[in-house]
Amino acid sequence: MSLWLVIILAAILFVPWSLIPGIRHRRYRRAIRDRIPAQTQWAAEFPDATSTVEEVLTIFCDVFLFDRRYRFHFRPGDKVAEVYQGTTGPVADELQMERLTWEIRKSFGVDLAGSYNQVEHSPQNVDHRR
């Protein structure tokens, strides 16, 4: 068997497996975009912090490469780790979690490092002050 034949067979077998994560990520992104905007849910959770919520969601969209017009398609109950998993492939990491931590620290002075899976979202866990 020639080396070229082995390379071609390996490519034929590898390419379909490499496309599967991309399909899953496109479906996840489409599911977020297809949601009804949740401004009223955010306003109910954080009635005194609407501009802060909008700023955090804008940072979130920038970090995870969503168009900013979909920022209110995220809901208060969405988990950062699930969004990360839904938008990141098994091999390609674009340092979204690190960038999110840095952007939030820069904008609000809050360090999120290590808290993505440990703290459940609740209004009591969020400090609305700048």
In a domain, 107, yes or no: yes
Does 76 score more than 60 pLDDT? yes
Structure tokens at 6: 């082995």
Cβ-based neighbours of 119, under 8 Å, separated by 6 or more: 125
Does 15 score more than 80 pLDDT? no
In a domain, 53, yes or no: yes
Percent of the chain with pLDDT over 90: 45
In a domain, 63, yes or no: yes
In a domain, 98, yes or no: yes
The sign of the torsion formed by the CA atoms of 52, 54, 58, 60 equals positive
Give the pLDDT of residue 39. Answer: 94
In a domain, 27, yes or no: yes
- Is the pLDDT higher at 17 or at 4? 4
119: DSSP letter: S
Total domains in the chain come to 1
In a domain, 130, yes or no: no
Domain that holds residue 14: 3-125
